[in-house]
């Protein structure tokens, strides 16, 4: 018993000595300097379907340079923690308690605007050195006396292509309807990819500017969309994986954001690829902001100041389009301020701001959600392939021609179902496109009906022409009847004056539909 007690006492003594030694070591540890600062950054630029962080090396270079800049300016070290987030989902997690981050870096401007009450208004030291806009694109929050966000780079939709497979790349939006692109191009999925969210308004803005008429631009933009998505073999719901299809030579070209394109060229090392902006490019701001309630507000504001400074923008310009005209870019990055940059020179920005989400939803309803290359009826891709088949035999006899024209009219109904003149009325009726559910549901129903009718009329046209077989179009049977015609006015025999030449629809014998005066209900 005494031996056990002695052992226990000895153990206590040894443990006490160890604790004392540990406390002494802890007390003598080197303490961080009193001036050490901290900064937490959420870099929200990741895209769905991939763990790739776009331009991560740029982020690391910016952070490294900022730490040196901050030390030199304020005489203290700063510890920077960067976490990487999906651009589409990060904003949805904001607002749950005290912010976990000090700086929100990257994402869609729409999300920053939607969370404006969570952003800290402040005048950056770089504010007076920056332009307010670049070709009409805002470079900071202009909706109040003090900006809540600033653009740290600009981006746009572009073409990333393999020059060996596509030696003469399209230079304009109408050229995207070229039939030589069929099954060699990948169209974006703006419902999944946040940085191609504005592809519909980009096409519209370009065509309205090119044609000098908003109504003509409206019809042309939807014709281009129908043709290009119809020609596309797949949609880029996972942009980086789709871009790899082009890098591997399995596809010739992808329509994507230049955020993806520059990453593939500069970060991923696919230097054999090329990037081009289409004539009539619409620029978008990629914002950065300080979150209200940030634990490290002073350092966060300093970070934004540095990112917008000439030194910070010089780093950005190695990978993306800068927001300062006086910094040098490195090939293949373009300077958006240069006079030869193919930007849209004049556009109704008030209408774009009002109708951007309207056009996005219209595009999703008629083109993206119903793309589906499975061969199912009521889908754009199925209707496109059947109408293409009917176009080949449409001149066989009068009945084949009539049924083909009905098929083509249904395929292109989107271009006239809602006219440019309808948008303002619908926008006001829905409380600023807030109560939009009924319209979106209607568009989906009407699109399915139009594509089903297009398939049925095309089948009957093929049968009327006496064509044998439907190779490449899946299982199909012809139906008896006089054909189905979606509610619209009769189609003219030739293209209207001023309408663009769209090769993809021209191959179908395209003749543009006149504008409807009222929205069909």
Class level of CATH domain 37-154+284-316: alpha beta
* Cα 425 from Cα 519, distance rounded (Å): 10
Q: How many CB atoms lie within 10 A of CB 206?
A: 26
* Cα 509 from Cα 491, distance rounded (Å): 12
Q: Phi/psi at 172 (nearest 5 deg)?
A: -140, 165
Average pLDDT across the chain, whole number? 86
Residue bearing tokens 């021609």: 401
* Cα 347 from Cα 372, distance rounded (Å): 33
Q: Could you read off the pLDDT of 421-451 as tens digits, one per residue?
A: 999 999 999 999 999 999 999 999 999 999 9
pLDDT given for residue 99 in this prediction: 80
Q: Could you read off the pLDDT of 273-304 as tens digits, one per residue?
A: 999 999 999 999 999 999 999 999 999 999 99
Residue bearing tokens 């981050």: 101
The whole-number average pLDDT for the span 311-329 is: 97
Could you tell me the residue ranges of all domains in the chain?
37-154+284-316, 158-280+347-506
3-state per-residue secondary structure call for 237-249: CCHHHHHHHHHCC
CA distance to 84, 408, 459, per residue, from 484 (Å): 52, 11, 11
Residue bearing tokens 């789709």: 242
- The pTM of this model reads 0.85
Whether 391 shows a pLDDT value over 80: the answer reads: yes
* Cα 389 from Cα 472, distance rounded (Å): 10
Whether 165 shows a pLDDT value over 60: the answer reads: yes
The whole-number average pLDDT for the span 465-486 is: 44
Q: Could you read off the pLDDT of 194-230 as tens digits, one per residue?
A: 999 999 999 999 999 999 999 999 999 999 999 999 9
What is the Cα 330 distance to its own chain's centre? 24
The whole-number average pLDDT for the span 139-156 is: 97
CA distance to 22, 57, 99, 120, per residue, from 78 (Å): 29, 19, 19, 21
Q: How does DSSP classify residue 279?
A: B
For helices 199-211 and 349-363, what crossing angle results, to 10°? 130
> Quick one: pLDDT band at residue 92, thresholds 50, 70, 90?
confident
Q: How does DSSP classify residue 55?
A: T
pLDDT given for residue 30 in this prediction: 35
Same fold, 37-154+284-316 and 158-280+347-506: yes
For residue 161, give the 3-state DSSP assignment.
strand
The whole-number average pLDDT for the span 453-468 is: 89
Contact 345, 209 (CB under 8 A): yes
The domain made up of 158-280+347-506 is a member of CATH 3.40.190.10: yes
Whether 10 shows a pLDDT value over 70: the answer reads: no
The whole-number average pLDDT for the span 389-397 is: 93
pLDDT given for residue 521 in this prediction: 26
pLDDT given for residue 493 in this prediction: 28
């Amino acid at each position: 018993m005494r031996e056990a007690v002695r052992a226990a006492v000895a153990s206590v003594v040894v443990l006490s000595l160890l604790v004392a030694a540990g406390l002494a070591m802890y007390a003598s540890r080197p303490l961080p300097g009193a001036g050490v600062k901290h900064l937490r950054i959420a870099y929200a630029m990741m895209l769905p379907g991939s763990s790739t962080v776009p331009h991560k090396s740029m982020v690391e270079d910016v952070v490294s340079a900022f730490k040196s800049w901050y030390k030199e300016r304020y005489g203290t070290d700063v510890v920077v923690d960067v976490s990487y987030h999906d651009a589409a989902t990060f904003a949805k997690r904001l607002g749950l308690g005290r912010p976990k981050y000090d700086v929100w870096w990257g994402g869609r401007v729409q999300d920053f605007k939607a969370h404006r009450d969570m952003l800290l208004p402040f005048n950056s030291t770089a504010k007076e050195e920056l332009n307010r806009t670049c070709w009409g694109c805002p470079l900071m929050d202009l909706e109040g006396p003090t900006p809540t966000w600033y653009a740290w780079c600009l981006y746009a939709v572009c073409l990333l292509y393999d020059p060996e497979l596509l030696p003469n790349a399209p230079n304009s939006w109408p050229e995207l309807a070229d039939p030589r692109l069929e099954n060699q191009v990948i169209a974006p999925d703006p419902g999944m990819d946040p940085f191609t969210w504005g592809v519909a308004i980009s096409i519209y803005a370009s065509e309205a500017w090119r044609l000098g008429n908003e109504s003509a631009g409206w019809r042309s933009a939807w014709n281009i969309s129908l043709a290009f998505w119809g020609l596309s073999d797949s949609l880029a719901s996972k942009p980086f994986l789709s871009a790899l299809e082009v890098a591997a030579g399995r596809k010739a070209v992808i329509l994507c954001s230049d955020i993806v394109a520059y990453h593939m060229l500069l970060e991923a090392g696919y230097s054999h690829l090329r990037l081009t902006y289409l004539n009539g490019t619409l620029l978008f701001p990629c914002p950065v902001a300080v979150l209200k309630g940030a634990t490290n507000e002073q350092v966060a504001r300093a970070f934004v100041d540095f990112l917008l400074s000439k030194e910070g923008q010089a780093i950005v310009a190695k990978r993306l389009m800068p927001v300062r005209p006086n910094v040098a870019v490195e090939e293949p990055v373009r300077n958006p301020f240069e006079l030869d940059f193919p930007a849209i020179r004049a556009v109704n920005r008030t209408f774009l701001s009002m109708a951007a989400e309207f056009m996005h939803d219209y595009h999703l309803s008629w083109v993206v959600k119903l793309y589906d290359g499975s061969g199912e009826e009521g889908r754009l891709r199925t209707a496109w392939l059947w109408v293409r088949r009917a176009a080949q035999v449409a001149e066989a006899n009068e009945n084949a021609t009539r049924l083909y024209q009905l098929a083509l009219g249904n395929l292109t109904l989107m271009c006239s179902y809602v006219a440019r003149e309808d948008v303002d009325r619908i926008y006001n009726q829905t409380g600023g496109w807030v109560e939009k559910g009924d319209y979106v549901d209607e568009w989906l129903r009407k699109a399915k009906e139009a594509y089903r009718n297009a398939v049925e009329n095309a089948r009957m046209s093929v049968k009327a022409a006496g064509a044998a077989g439907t190779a490449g179009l899946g299982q199909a049977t012809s139906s008896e009847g006089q054909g189905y015609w979606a509610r619209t006015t009769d189609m003219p025999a030739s293209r209207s004056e001023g309408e663009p030449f769209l090769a993809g629809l021209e191959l179908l014998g395209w003749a543009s539909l006149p504008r409807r005066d009222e929205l069909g209900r």
